[in-house]
Structure 1
Amino acid sequence: MDQDGANSQYLTEGRTLALTPRFSPNNDLVSYMNFDDGNPQVYLLQLSTGQQRRLGSFGAMTFAPRFSPDGGRIAFSVEASGATNLYSIAVAGGQPTQLTSGGAIDTGPSYSPDGSRIIFESDRGGSPQLYMMAAGGGQAQRISFGQGTYSTPVWAPKGDLIAFTRQSGGQFSIGIMNPDGSGERMLYTSFHAEGPTWAPNGRVIMFFQDPGGNDGPRLKSVDIWGRNVLTIPTETYASDPAWSGLRS
């Protein structure tokens, strides 16, 4: 759909659940989580041809895909034998590279705009927090230290900020911080709000919010100063927004 909710088109037929779509940098591929086989698996959809294919067969579940800035690789999570670790693989296929190891749940990877680093969510310290490491894996450094738990980190297009979801005191907040974890600010707080995605200008964030009761999830946007909160109209319930890059 357009960024204001107009001109919506359906890319999948609705036979199975499809979640967390992510655009490739050239806007022609979408990675997403498909429940076609019962367990979630990462699929690729080419917009220009409509062709779809499964990324590969790794572990019991694969999820949380995100493209590298050059569009050549995808980072994602693999659940196997009770552990969830991060992997990356070339979009063209081949053998995946394991980026993290251990018994923790590592998920939600997002590349820095220069492709050198990955920020992700991990409960290795006892609760879900944000960590940063080199794009090829290795030692990770924790960067979130506020109250509550952190998830769904996404690097801003300019590399100057990271958006995330924070859960604290029974409330969800959409926030931003500097890449080193400093300067944390909450932009929007609600009963349930999560899943931020950046506009190409790096100054507006879209996310989804569920007001509870009989109302389902809907899309909202807010600027990085916490102002201009808008509800994006959609035909029905909506979640997991992903903003495309600028079209060339």
Structure 2
Amino acid sequence: MTTRRDSSLFQTSPSLIITRRQTLALGAGLTALAAGLPRLAGAQTSLKVEGGEIKPIPIAIPNFVPGTPADGEVAAGVTQVITNNLRRSGLFIPIDQAAYLEKITNIDVPPQFQSWRAINAQALVTGRITRQPDGRLKAEFRLWDIFSGQQQTGHQYFTAAEFWRRIAHIISDQVYERLTGEKGYFDTRIVFVDESGAKDRRVKRLAIMDQDGANVRYLTRGEDLVLTPRFSPSTQEITYMAFGQGDPRVLLYNIETGQRETVGNFPGMTFAPRFSPDGQRVIMSLQQGGNANLFVMDLRSKSTTRLTDTPAIDTSPCYSPDGSRICFESDRGGKQQIYVMSAGGGPAQRISFGEGNYSTPVWSPRNDFIAFTKQGGGSFAIGIMKPDGSGERILTSGFHNEGPTFAPNGRVLMFFRDTGAGPALYTVDVTGRNEQRVPTPSFASDPAWSPLLS
């Protein structure tokens, strides 16, 4: 680790270990060195809730300082990605750079805190991007509390130059966590169904992108109809349905290698495969005659266990974070409702009792909510309720909203909305605030949020 003139700004800690799986997920090598500081008792800046309203934090993010003029473009790009991430979260208000009174030229020197207080900044992010002799980028940042005049955290990373956006997401997560007390969600990816072409001849391809819509990559070519992609807890595998030749198939796709594996060719229709939290099993719904029941397959032995046996349609199963329970939708009571049962099967408890139909339940990673799609009164709504069914709250509603998926910190939901022309992806906070569209190259549906990559 490089020696600095003021050792109080950075403290040495053990290197972060990046596994081979994580490294390959980047597409090449990423080595990270981190120098983290403990939380400072004197730091005053944090997210505030007043009268039930969240008060976003005014934060200043000057352009990262380039190590050389040639690093200027990347430095500005990193700054912009961090700014966009924090703004889109709805928890921060980045201050316009035109208002800055101090120009940051050396991040090793403490900033002029009075200049930042004068523009009402509560937090300040400073950083530097330097290209190393071997071509890698060295990214450094510091987060300052303007009230206390102290550094809250500081880290440095080394990465191949093409992965500068990934570093910007990691820095965004560090800032988010330090100021909100919750894990971030920016260093993540979204797998979704890309839809292009005429409405009556729509081509559906499996695609993956960063959570902000960048770095879109297509995983299938469109020969088969693909539906309901879902991430493995390892983030390197996806399970999804494919309709093409013969019976519908449940497939595993390895993001690292591009290899596909058929989990099983099942008679009749197969719906909504999803991984267990340990990644060792896939749960799904299999149609047999006029009804559908839940089955789970062990991916090692390929043995299948039946979990429900009713003359109804049971589908869209999802595990609780600890893997002990399952939520699913069923029309066993006459219309679609949400039920919860043990992961091994047995009696199921109905938890939804409002007007309309409930579908596509998904358990929050924090185990505090189950999200759902609710249909009634000519509209589709995205909502949440506690796992016992209490506290139901609608977050957003419209002509056709469907398919919620949680960010790994459980604070944000992504879903798709189709207003007639074609579907698009949106995010909304679990409070119902800050609804935003996520950019995609074409129409997009069936999103699934990955765990944190780092």
Partner of 2:418: 210
Partner of 1:231: 437
1:102 shift after superposition: 1.7
Q: Would you say 1:128 and 2:336 are equivalent positions? A: yes
| Partner of residue 36 from structure 1, selected from 234, 237, 244 | 244
Q: Would you say 1:180 and 2:367 are equivalent positions? A: no
Deviations along 1:125-184, one digit per CA (max 9) or x if unpaired, are 000000000001111000000110000000000111110000010110000000000000
Partner of 2:302: 94
Q: Would you say 1:148 and 2:356 are equivalent positions? A: yes
Does the Cα contact within 8 Å between 2:414 and 2:447 map onto a contact in 1? Answer: yes
Q: Give me the whole-angstrom Cα distance separating, in 2, the residues matched to 1:51 and 1:80.
A: 30
Gaps (5+ residues) in structure 1? none
Matches within 5 A, 1:1-248: 1-212=209-420, 215-248=421-454
* Amino-acid identity (%): 61
Using the size of structure 2 for normalisation, the TM-score is: 0.53
1:71 shift after superposition: 0.6
- Secondary structure of the 2:416 match is strand
Match of 1:55, as an amino acid?
V
Q: Give me the whole-angstrom Cα distance separating, in 1, the residues matched to 2:399 and 2:289.
A: 33
Does the Cα contact within 8 Å between 2:400 and 2:417 map onto a contact in 1? Answer: yes
Does the Cα contact within 8 Å between 1:175 and 1:185 map onto a contact in 2? Answer: yes
Deviations along 1:4-37, one digit per CA (max 9) or x if unpaired, are 1111000111111111110000011100010122
In terms of fraction of residues, the more helix-rich structure is: 2
CA RMSD of aligned residues (A): 1.0
Deviations along 1:174-216, one digit per CA (max 9) or x if unpaired, are 000000000000000000000000001100000000011xx20
Does the Cα contact within 8 Å between 1:75 and 1:87 map onto a contact in 2? Answer: yes
Q: Give me the whole-angstrom Cα distance separating, in 2, the residues matched to 1:113 and 1:96.
A: 22
In terms of fraction of residues, the more strand-rich structure is: 1
Does the Cα contact within 8 Å between 2:248 and 2:265 map onto a contact in 1? Answer: no
Instruction: Decide which structure has the larger Cα Rg and report it.
Output: 2
Does the Cα contact within 8 Å between 1:115 and 1:135 map onto a contact in 2? Answer: yes
1:38 shift after superposition: 4.8
Does the Cα contact within 8 Å between 2:250 and 2:265 map onto a contact in 1? Answer: no
Does the Cα contact within 8 Å between 2:423 and 2:443 map onto a contact in 1? Answer: yes
Does the Cα contact within 8 Å between 1:197 and 1:206 map onto a contact in 2? Answer: yes
1:58 shift after superposition: 2.5
Does the Cα contact within 8 Å between 1:55 and 1:93 map onto a contact in 2? Answer: no
Q: Which has the higher contact order (CA 8 A, sep 6+)?
A: 1
1:49 shift after superposition: 1.2
